[in-house]
Structure 1
Amino acid sequence: MLNELTVARRETALFSTILLVAVVLTSSASASAQQTFVIPAVSDNTLGVNGSVWATEVQIIKKDPQASLTVRRLWVCVPEGGFLEDPGAALVWEMPRRNNARDRLLTLLGDDLLEGTDSSLGAVALVIEGGEAIVNARVADISRGRWLGMTPLGQGQRIPATPDPLTGGSYIPWLGGCRNAPCNLSQAPNWDYFRNNIGLVNPNPEPLVVSGLAIPFGPGDHGEPIEFDLTGLTQETFERTVPPYGWVQFAWVATQYYEFSMWGDWRIPMASFLINLEPDQDLPYFAYASTVFAPDPDSGVPAFNDPMFIPAESGYIAPFTYSP
């Protein structure tokens, strides 16, 4: 028969084991509750073309209104090169648990996210601990002002806050065409101008070189869209070097017209493009396009800038060529 001291010791050991398991499970739950979100395009009242002024607003919403969340900046990428945050000195925003509906939402603007840099443009990664959150970002042209304080006027363009970087080849599935010229050659109201920008983000301590290839699409013999055969044509390519913790955005314009002529008298400018991207190293990166439905550069009509954000997707798309 076990004496009372032995039983007590075993009960103490069992309790210690249960306590240790509980601590491990709690630690695992805390670790699993950590989320990382990357906002690949952030602007702080940045001047653009056609008199536009671009501002970013990020909304972080608790899934559980009773949770206490901590939001920490992980890294920041800017044109001249950014940095990885020191965990002990990183920017931190707290979302405490309170019985107040306002504490469920945290709003951050471009100057909040880019604090500590000399840039008004870049990309930012945020780590959220303590629970799950919904993160949305948008950029809007505020040249006509703001609505209720600092909130940008108008819907603007939604920018997905993604946790998943690209590795290897990727592609931008759609870019507007028309080469910043009227798509409609009959001189109808000039409402069809597109301005294309491509953005690249390198959250690594070494530079990244990204090569691009554009695949053009346009109307075929019977009006249906087809891929243009690149045989005999100069391929639309580009190359950009993104510095360590760098952010690069550039205007992309095709170097030539892709024309179709059915009877020798009907010519249509290029319609759209798919953009292949190929980095020189297997490092994580982010890429996107921003296609802006923009005013006629001569007349300024229509007098607004309507953007669409297009994130790059993983994979490489081979261009079509005719086989003999």
Structure 2
Amino acid sequence: MIRLLSWNVRYFSHATRGITSLDQTQRGIASVIAKMDPQPDIIALQELDDFSIRSVIGRAGGRSKRGEPVSNFDRFFESLNRESLERGGHLYQAQFYPAQGHKGGLPLYSTGLGILYRSSLQQVDHNGPEPHDITHRRISQLSKLKQKRICAWGRFRDGEQEFDVFNTHLSLPAFLKRASGPTGGRFGESDNQVKEIESLLDFVSRTSDLDATVLVGDFNALPGSRVYSTVAERLRDAHATHIGAPPDHMVHMHSAGFMNLRYRLDHVFAGRRIQFHDFHDTAPYGRTHPWVALSDHSPLVGRFSVLPRVAESPVAGAPTLDTSTSIRA
């Protein structure tokens, strides 16, 4: 059984409204994860500012002198392991997936994704050094100004079964372009977002066995939108399936907020061999959420198992169970 947590942590800067990252917020997020019972086996994070003026200005020198990690992701990773081990919990391994602002020097800001996993879970492969670029650049002359969007990937083995985890954060709807679709809103209805999700799904299909795939992240897309429906053609909404809810019901199970506005922008999609058993600790974003002070998103948390592969019998054509771990690369 695998417990998965997916969370947009807003660069550990929610307390400053995104202006600068805070150790207090980073330690707070590490602490609440370490205190979970049971702890997650895999942690997928979005909106990580690893090393930039925004994240380390005025603090990098002091951290180096004290022999502390300078990058925000390394500091979070260290905090999580320290508190987890103090509680007798997991020792985690981590993979950072760079997106924006990682070509040397100290950029104004940097972005990336992260996947952490308990050390007893075998990571078979990943694309950490070169995550797949899904950015839709409509105007080539302005492409350098467009924030890069990526898809992070890790393949894991749990016992006899392998499965793939994809983590992403899609762009917001294009500001100057009209968006139209079944939800009547903008989130998930813009052409630039549809182009990005099509690129992502093409990468997922080429890289993994869709039946043993989990896709998580901040999609900036409402349930029932064009983006959501494009994913749902290949993978099911695991949370909606588990509770038996249609997309128009999931719209009201908010995962993010801005001022008094609430949205369902974060999702967990899964293939046919991924069976989710519960979504305990998943709660709607809002003032009553216990972790509302840590981010403008609430985490999605669920437990799943990987079902054996079903193969065709070479004799009668009847389905037979195949526990082979081979996955199409």
**TM-score, normalised relative to structure 1:** 0.23
Q: Which has the higher helix share?
A: 2
Point out the structure with max Rg over C-alpha: 1
**TM-score, normalised relative to structure 2:** 0.22
Name the structure, 1 or 2, with higher relative contact order (CA <8 Å, separation 6+).
1
